[in-house]
Structure 1
Amino acid sequence: MRKIVIPVFCFAVMSTIAIEAQLSAAPVSAAQVTIEKTQYVNVSSGTLNMRKSGSSTASVVAKLTKGTKVSVSSESKGWAKITANGKTGYVSSQYLSSKNPVKATAAAKTTTKYVNTSSGTLNMRKSGSPSAAVVTKLAKGTKVSVSSESKGWAKVTANGKTGYVSSQYLSTTNPVKATVAAKITTKYVNTSSGTLNMRKSGSATASVVAKLAKGTKVSVSSESKGWAKITSNGKTGYVSSQYLSTKNPVAVVKTTTKYVNVSSGTLAMRKSASTSAAVLAKLAKGTKVTVSSESKGWAKITSNGKTGYVSSQYLSTTKPVAATPSEVKPVIKYVNVSVGSSLNLRKQPSDSAAVILKLTRGAETTVISESGGWTKIKVYGGEGYVNSSFLSADKPKTPISEPEETTIIKFVKVSDGSSLNMRSEASTSGSVVTQLVNNTAVTVYSEENGWARVTANGKTGYVSSAFLADTAAETPSGSNKTIDKIVTPYNLSLNKMVDFQMAADAQTDKNYQTYIREDALTVISSTKGTVDGIGWRVRGGAGPENWVIATVNDHQELTILSKKMGSDGYNWYEVNINKSWVNASPDDVKYNLNPDNFANDSVNMFQFVKLSQPTSLNASEVNERILAGKGILANQAATFITAGETYGVNEIYLISHALLETGKGTSPLATGVEVNGKTVYNMYGIGAYDGTALTSGAQYAYNAGWFTPEAAIIGGAKFIANGYISAGQDTLYKMRWNPAGAAKYGYATHQYATDIGWAAKQVKQIYNLYSLLDSYHLTVEIPAYK
């Protein structure tokens, strides 16, 4: 044996390659078999290269994973010749071990820990590096098996996946279960006023989850940095810890008993602590109330089963003594100073005391007491002292101012073919403003020394009163003027129609006496007050049963004219609201709605003329008597007649509209405006919007193709007809009131104007145009209500 082995060994030292060749070429005898040993690949990470020869530069035959079982046939110079997975090659000996490292690792003791993040999730990464790819995300409380920890990283297995997480976010106890198991404490919301915001996180800028009322019970799970995590009413969030208490502040509120103590009238209990809040009840003097809280001059009380707020100043701890019958009736006196002067209301009964406010002549006061030449009074919601000599039992008379200018309608009375000069002043030497023909309706403002100041056909001046009559002259016999009257019944009563218009806030420019309830105003002087709160309405009388004239704004200053007791037990101030247009009274609406007030009047009857019917005008007569001298409209009678017949519109209505909109045929839109190299015309102001009337009106005409005056007159008639007339609202009355629409739908609808006097205001111009003519045929349609 020794003879055989030694030569082989010596030869192997000289040439490994040779021995490999020799071994592979020569048959192996039993004496040459070496018992191979079994070892295992043991790399810390990755795989082990099996190479073709024992050199790091040799080609790779295969890659072996950690724990791979190999058969080692020889080892030399740090290289081992092995067989694995049916392949033979060489690997570095340092990465082989006698024990399977995988089984050893599996058998190693693993520890159980839990993800413990303050918020969000924990990244499980492919390796122990913050830049490694994320394998998965682990929620707080997730159970993980830790196989190793090194350099701040732990190798873990969780949910069937293995990777690395930061060791600092692992704990031996489950933080979720610990939180659940933590002691939950009960506390109560304790705010001084309002509600407490429950937020999504412990930050004043976090979104609000809910609003919690004072006394709300909450479950506190944790508190940190001034914030408490709570659960209340099925919601979880964060609130400021300072507004929580261990005792229920509502339950332990100490109530006190007090009594209503007003000098007169009743005390309003309101829905909230505001003078503009709704009144829940009125409490008489001496009423017993239970006070639960007081703040900023208001007391929260319960009385007669109702809870609300009253002014604290009218409550006392002792029940006021009932007044005797003689004391119940207040003593009323009035300020009696010279016209234009005022009376000082002072804080104390002394000429040197501070002045609270100044009282005007006629101001009504309630006397509290009198002594030493001074009277203590209550006025405009406050109390003070005035000199007794300037009070009187009777209200002093106020000098009557000049009456407002009134107007009446009269008619020019001259021979046919002649005219009446309207002059610039009340004298025959005044220049002639215009000439008025027989039967022209004029508005008379005043008459003096044989002259009347009048307005007619858009002109104002003076005419001789001798040529004015109270009624229009009858149509001469043989004239070609005919008027047919028809009556159209509606399934609607006049009173119901009034109700519909009141609900739609029918407007008027008429002045009314206007009243507002005392608790709506903060009085700053005897003649001034400011509105306290929103939604206050002023009415046409002292009481809520009167119609609403208008609404006023918070802090709006109103002029106080007088005060009176209302039907509801409140004092009401008469005020001046300085509005040009207000809601009309039911009586005024009814008057303007009632056809009987206008149907037999020679002028107002024209609001019932059917505008959907041409009136058989004489073109020559119209040109001569109406359109002569009317600029671009002169000699256009035939065009207006064609327009009326084409689209079913009353010609005089079209002419009246055109005269008004074009300044009697002289406006730039009427005389022509150039658009895109073409001259366009617009005779009715269609599309001419405020602020851009010329450009917008001209652009409308261009788009409509109105490149001649005739095209503008006829094309505009189509627009006018389509709006209301073709819809059946073919009289001025129906354009304003639309009785057919009201009867059909049960409310006011599709009305041309909100002014209750609109129809009546339009008729004088149309009447005057017809009065210039001797030939026409009209149809008048009178509505009839049930």
Structure 2
Amino acid sequence: GEKVTVYSISGDWAKVKAGSKTGYVHASFLTNSNPDSSADTSTPAKTTTKYVNVDKGSHLILRSKASETSSILDSLPRGEKVTVYSISGDWAKVKAGSKTGYVHASFLANSNPDSHAGTSTPVQTTTKYVNVDKGSHLVLRSKASRSGKILTSLQRGEKVTVYTASGPWVKVKARGITGYVLASYLSDADPDASTADDGNNSSEPTPDATVTKYTTADLNLRKGPSTLTSVIEVLDKGTAVKVYSEEDGWAKVEISGKIGYVSTNYLTSAAQQSNGKVTSIVKKYDLSLDELANIQMRVSPQTDTNNRYIRSDAIKLTSHTTGVVQNGSWHIRDGAGTKNHEVGETLKEGTKVTILSTVKGDDGYTWYQISYNKAWKNATKNEVKYYLNPNNFVSDPVRSLQFLKLTSTANLNATEVNQKILAGKGILAGKASAFLTAAKQNGINEIYLIAHALLETGNGTSQLANGVKYNGKTVYNMYGTGANDGNAVQNGARYAYQHGWTTPEAAIIGGAKFISSNYLGAGQDTLYKMRWNPDVAATYGYASHQYATDIGWAYKQVDEIYNLYNLLDNYNITLEVPSYQ
């Protein structure tokens, strides 16, 4: 009944002031009115009657508090009638017999689950489809709880038979297996049914099995899918994250190389409205996308994607999720079925693999999507064409930044950069003027330059960034220039000494010259051109001076750039988008 002032709610937590103290409490235990405000009046507390709905032979634990760490009061059998006083979050306050306590609300139903037992009334079922993001899977569990054993992993668009619903969970049958899934990831229609004839090449893979989403509030990035796990960092509202999977209210995401978990309640597929000015220009090339892909295939492009499939009879299972190759060597393909491309490598008998999913192939056979002990693999032409094709990214506010002209000014305000980007960034805090000067003198986009420095200095905390003694002088290095060959600190300090970088500002301005002289000075002034160098390919017919062999390199670099732009109110973006015949 204590009154608190709520400042904000993020995920399961609320920032509140209670008396003179400010801190955090579980939001599910706050209400808009005093729960005891009707005490001692003639108005009775409103209650409802529900029934325990767990699997036959199972029991529902009645606890003293709304927490799985609290003491157990009783064990309630399937079908037992309880009086429900209130439901808050995942928990319901109930009375069972003479005992009052808390149970998981998802295991309560409005009617006795066994009330029709022994009658001729058939069980009513409906057909639904798995509706998760492309590249994600829906886990089928042995019981309606995250603690339930994983029975299998269902693919997007897979048809399931739905028997009963209880809270957020539904009982379904899929692939002959009966279990429970989260109802929010089922739909009445196949999510991909309307895209079969849209003219796109449906056999092309999606990049790294991820989608981009945006935070709708300041949000904790946690080490695990639970509020009990530690916070890695707090993500600003509007931050773009790569989403690998979503399950039980949690999303596994990646941001700036960090992987963690956030609440799905605070993610959206739509980017927030931009205050900046975006200008796009088109650069035409005298070659086709297919010709450019053929040129790239000659230099062994690499990928770390898990879009790798092998026919099920090639694998002898050692568990539900692992196996070994049997009966000789087998080809791997970039899709399920013999119509898909071979990736140019085979797995020999005895090779251990991890099975990510089971799918029906276009040839009628069962195929396994696998991950095996080889981090980098030869990319297929289909995969290369996906990343080469600008049309796959130009409408995405994040991925389109691989076409950002790194030689174009963002026209930033130094005060805003200091307040919104560099605040709290160690030695880089307050250095906006130096970055803007460095960008102007060397013809580099300011956001790209700042993102580069934040990455290399660990947000302004690295040893080189904070000054290293060399030949009696303290020198600074903000971009890791020359910091190689085993002894990064000493070599980076020597380079800084040789170039007179004796102040942080000198290191920011001087280091920018090195950055501009290599790729940007050679005309490769977008991340896309740094990776693919289409100018050389179109002129000479071969691949040359490419920054990376990873086909997804440019795609992966843009999150930090987008998120820095997203912090600002005013800026300019110029995109140079390639166009092929």
Q: TM-score, normalised by structure 2?
A: 0.55
How many pairs are equivalent? 357
Counterpart amino acid of residue 752 in structure 1: Y
Letter in 2 for 1:505: S
Q: Deviations over 1:414-473 (max 9, x none)?
A: 4xxxx3343455556665543323321022344344443433345444433222111102
The 3 A distance-change label for structure 1 pair 508 and 614 is same
Q: Is the 8 A contact 1:483 1:778 kept in 2?
A: yes
Equivalent positions of 1:70-149 (< 5 A) are: none
1:758 and 2:550 equivalent? no
Matched to 2:523, the amino acid is G
| Map of 1:697 onto structure 2 | 492
**CA distance in structure 1 between the aligned counterparts of 2:328 and 2:467, rounded to whole angstroms:** 52
- Tell me the equivalent position of 1:410: 213
**1:517-528 equivalence runs, <5 A:** 527=325
Q: Deviations over 1:177-231 (max 9, x none)?
A: xxxxxxxxxxxxxxxxxxxxxxxxxxxxxxxxxxxxxxxxxxxxxxxxxxxxxxx
Superposed counterparts of 1:193-342, under 5 Å: none
CA gap 1:704/1:557 in 2 versus in 1, 3 angstroms = farther
Could you say if the C-alpha distance between residues 407 and 718 of structure 1 is closer, same or farther in structure 2, counting changes exceeding 3 Å? same
Q: Tell me, in whole angstroms, the C-alpha distance in 1 between the residues paired with 2:482 and 2:466.
A: 16
- The CA distance in 2 between the partners of 1:646 and 1:560, in whole Å, is 52
Structure possessing the higher relative contact order (Cα contacts under 8 Å, 6 or more residues apart) = 2
Instruction: Say yes or no: does 1:641 pair with 2:440.
Output: no
Q: Which runs of 5+ in 1 are unaligned?
A: 1-396, 519-525, 562-573
1:558 Cα offset (Å): 4.4
Q: CA deviation at 1:769?
A: 0.7
1:775 is paired with a residue of what secondary structure?
Answer: coil
CA distance in 2, matches of 1:715, 1:537: 51
CA drift of 1:487 comes to 0.5
Tell me, in whole angstroms, the C-alpha distance in 1 between the residues paired with 2:333 and 2:262.
Answer: 42
Distance 1:582 1:445 in 2: 20
* Equivalent residue, structure 2, for 1:605: 400
| Contact 2:331–2:342, Cα closer than 8 Å, also in 1 | no
Distance 1:632 1:538, change over 3 A: same
For residues 501-520 of structure 1, the aligned pairs below 5 Å read 501-511=296-306, 512-513=308-309
1:442 partner SS: strand
Q: Could you report, residue by residue, the CA deviation over 1:133-166 in whole angstroms, capped at 9, with x for unpaired residues?
A: xxxxxxxxxxxxxxxxxxxxxxxxxxxxxxxxxx
1: distance between equivalents of 2:514 and 2:472?
25
Deviations 1:487-533 (A, max 9, x none): 01001110000000111111111243479xx9xxxxxxx946899xx
TM-score, normalised to structure 1's length? 0.41
Amino acid of the residue matched to residue 671 of structure 1? N
1:779 has 2:574 as partner: yes
Residue 280 of structure 2 is aligned to residue 485 of structure 1: yes
> Residues 434 and 459 of structure 1 are in contact (CA less than 8 Å); yes or no, is this contact kept in structure 2?
no
2-structure distance, mates of 1:738, 1:437: 34
Match of 1:242 in 2: none
User: Which residue of the partner structure matches residue 711 of structure 1?
Assistant: 506
Contact 1:558–1:575 (Cα < 8 Å) also in 2 = no
Counterpart of 1:659 (choices 454, 462, 477) is: 454
Please give the secondary structure, in 2, of the residue aligned with 1:671: coil
Residues 741, 398 of structure 1: CA spacing in aligned structure 2 closer, same or farther, 3 A cutoff?
farther
**2:528 matched residue in structure 1:** 733
Residues 559 and 575 of structure 1 are in contact (CA less than 8 Å); yes or no, is this contact kept in structure 2? no
Residue 293 of structure 2 is matched in structure 1 by 498
Residue in structure 2 matched with residue 584 of structure 1 by the alignment: 379
Supply the distance in 1 between the matched residues of 2:343 and 2:253 (Cα, whole angstroms): 35
Q: Quote the offset at 1:582 in angstroms.
A: 1.7
Distance change in 2, residues 1:454/1:509 (3 Å): closer
Match for residue 629 of structure 1 among 416, 424, 435: 424
Percent identity, please.
Answer: 53
- Paired with 2:353 and 2:226, the residues of 1 have a C-alpha distance of 44
Kindly provide the amino acid, as one letter, of the partner of residue 541 in structure 2: G
Q: Pairwise CA RMSD of aligned residues?
A: 3.8
- With over 3 angstroms needed to count, the CA separation of the structure-2 counterparts of 1:743 and 1:667, relative to structure 1, is same
1:472 to 271, 276, 280: 271
- In structure 2, relative to structure 1, the CA distance for the partners of 1:579 and 1:560 (3 Å cut) is closer
Q: Aligned residue for 1:770? A: 565
Structure 1 residues 645 and 597: alpha-carbon distance in aligned structure 2, compared to 1, 3 A threshold: same
Flag the 1:399–1:714 CA change in 2: closer, same or farther, 3 A.
farther
Counterpart-to-counterpart distance in 1, 2:484 and 2:448: 22
CA distance in 1, matches of 2:401, 2:473: 39
* Contact 2:496-2:507 at 8 Å conserved across structures: yes
Aligned to 2:240: 441
The 3 A distance-change label for structure 1 pair 398 and 736 is farther
- The change in CA–CA distance for 1:744 and 1:399 in structure 2 (over 3 A counts) is farther
Seen in structure 2, the aligned counterparts of structure 1 residues 529 and 643 have a Cα distance that, compared at 3 Å, is: farther
- Amino acid corresponding to residue 243 of structure 2 in structure 1: V
Structure 2: unaligned runs, 5 residues or longer = 1-174, 179-207, 315-323, 355-368
